[in-house]
A and B are shown apart, each in its own frame.
Chain A
Amino acid sequence: MKRQHASAAQRTTRSRVTPQHDDAVDRLFTAGGVTLHIDISTLIEHQWTGIPTVAAGLASAFLARMPARIRFFLGTSLVETQIVADALRRNTGLFLERELSSGRALAGPLPILMRQAASGPTIGLFPSVKPVRRAFDIECNVVHDLSTLVLPYFHIKGNVDHHMAGMMADIASSDLVVTVSAASRDDLGAYLGVQAARMVVAPNGAAWPEGFAVAAANMLTPHGAEPYLLILGTREPRKNVMLVFDMLERAPDLLASHRIVFAGKMGWLEEQHALPRALEPARASGRLVFTGFVRDDVKYRLLAGAEATLYPSLFEGFGLPVLESLSAGTPCVASWSSSIPEVGGAVCSYFDPLSAGDMLRATREILARRREEGEALRQRCRAHAARFTWAAAADIILQRLAPLVEARL
Chain B
Amino acid sequence: MYYICRMNREFVQNWFSQVKKGTLSYIILIILDEKEYYGYELVQEIKAHTTLEVAEGTLYPLLNRLKADGIVESKWIEQESGIPRKYYTLTRDGKATLTEMKKIWTTLGTAIQRIQK
Judge: A and B partners, yes or no: no
Which B residues form the contact surface with A (CB < 8 A)? none
Which residues of A pack against B, CB within 8 Å? none
